[in-house]
Amino acid sequence: MENSRKVAVDVLINVFDRKSYSNITLDKMLNSSKLNAQDRALTTEIVYGTIKYKYTIDKIIDSFLVEGLSSLDSSILNILRISIYQIKYLDKVPNFAVVDEAVELAKKYKSKGASKLVNAVLRNYIRKPDKHSFNRFSSIDAMCSEFSFPKWLVKLFTKQYGEALTKKILKGLNERPCVTVRVNSLKASYDEVFEALQRNGYVVKEGIICPDAIMIIRGQSILKNTLFDEGYFTVQDESAMLVADSMDLCENLNVLDLCSAPGGKTTHIAEIMNNKGSIEAFDIYENKLELIQSNLIRLGINNVKCSIMDAEKYNESLKNSADRVLIDVPCSGLGIIRKKPEIKWNKSNNQLNALVKIQRNILMNASRYVKVGGSILYSTCTLNKDENENNILWFINNNTNFEIEPLYFGKGDNLLYSKEGYVTILPNEYMDGFFICKIKRLK
């Protein structure tokens, strides 16, 4: 019989060693396994929990090794990681069972000798669970240990937001995300979809901010529901829903979406425009455009044209052509760590710096495509100010024919409104971290 913990180790090897996406790898391995629903749930819990708390877990393991983490084979290291996670963060499995399972896995993956090392490390940790301790004189070290984030990222947030907000951000990024769907107004009303989901056995709740949002509190996979297949809703985080809502859309506009994949915001624009007007959706990869096209068909949308284009390269044919331009620019994704925890470990400061040039190039191109009186909507799913407000301030300082139009989404303890008019959405149980800014062309 297939073992849920072995599947978890295989997923983690792919995520940590091969930089694979956790959600894609986990889904693929679960779908090819013969695990029952309970074991699949346990595997999912172990995978995401271990990735989330990797920093703290690795510090614990390292404290019980003479030669350090680098001396371990990848499979043995990941067996130890999932075991420490279960012992420290879960209470559903007895410690002795975790140890026995880990020892058997180590024998299968490596050798009897490796299993003895695994046994020794885990039993020593159970005897001395407080052996690893952070530098109590360093608030950075304390936050790294408590929330399990790499030091460079904690330093970045602390420098940009201060210690109090950084703790709020780190806590939010560790929250378990809920599933939220956006009602397709082209096919049904909000109440009709809400009630249909209830009839289908889902426990649902109204969204926090966006009027089209429904939170799925409990129920089977929403993607396996016939309501999804028939296009009554799109799975989308509520933060992302606010992007199209910020664009001041109406029927018969000409809209450009320069970085459209995977298409959630593109389809939302079409729905708000009541399937009228013209929307051109661009992306650099053909396979991503095919994904958008399949969603357009599912949702009954026919006013969107999909085309390959690199948003960084200026396209003369689009000059002064658009009433609205959406640029949901490529970013570091630091606001969506609660859904993709491997971002903590797969990003670096150098990668963040390289993105800024790309984002500014796209923003400059968008400024040439928008008509006088039209607007650009700039958004990211990161919390790095260099990719967000610093880009906006750079653009406004160098382009006096544009101004920021203030946005307001109501009150919320995770909404940071700037005096300039842009909005930062802090991550919490219900929403991803996001940045949204609306820029109007004056002349």
Residues 6+ apart with CB under 8 A from 69: 58, 61, 62, 77
Q: The tokens of 30 are what?
A: 């679960």
Asked if residues 411 and 377 have their Cβ atoms less than 8 Å apart, the reply is no
Q: What's phi and psi for 229, nearest 5 deg?
A: -55, -35
Residue 128's contacts (CB-CB under 8 Å, 6 or more residues apart) are none
Annotated binding site for S-adenosyl-L-methionine: 259-265, 283, 310, 328
Q: Which of 144, 210, 306, 381 is catalytic?
A: 381
The DSSP call for residue 429 is S
CA 354 to the chain's CA centroid: 20
Q: Residue 351 CA to chain centroid, in angstroms?
A: 17
- Enumerate the β-bridge partners of residue 215: 180, 205
Structure letter (DSSP) for residue 8 = H
Radius of gyration of the chain (CA): 24
| Distance from C-alpha of 70 to C-alpha of 366, rounded to nearest angstrom | 47
Q: Which of 86, 14, 72, 104 is nearest to 43 (CA)?
A: 86
381 catalytic? Reply is yes
Q: Which residues are annotated as a binding site?
A: 259-265, 283, 310, 328
Secondary structure (DSSP) of 9-58: HHHHHHHHHH---HHHHHHHHHHTS---HHHHHHHHHHHHHHHHTHHHHH
> Are 120 and 79 spatial neighbours (Cβ–Cβ below 8 Å)?
no
Question: Beta-carbon neighbour count of residue 168 at 10 Å?
Answer: 17
Amino acid at 437: C
C-alpha distances out from residue 111 to 68, 104, 105, Å = 19, 10, 9
Spatial neighbors of 216 by CB under 8 A, at least 6 apart, are 178, 179, 180, 181, 197, 202, 203, 204, 222
Could you give the angle at the alpha carbon of 36 between the alpha carbons of 35 and 39, nearest 5°?
A: 75
Provide φ and ψ at 341, rounded to 5°.
-60, -20
The 3-state secondary structure of 125-151, one letter per residue: HHHCCCCCCCCCCCHHHHHHHHHCCCH
**Residues with catalytic roles:** 381
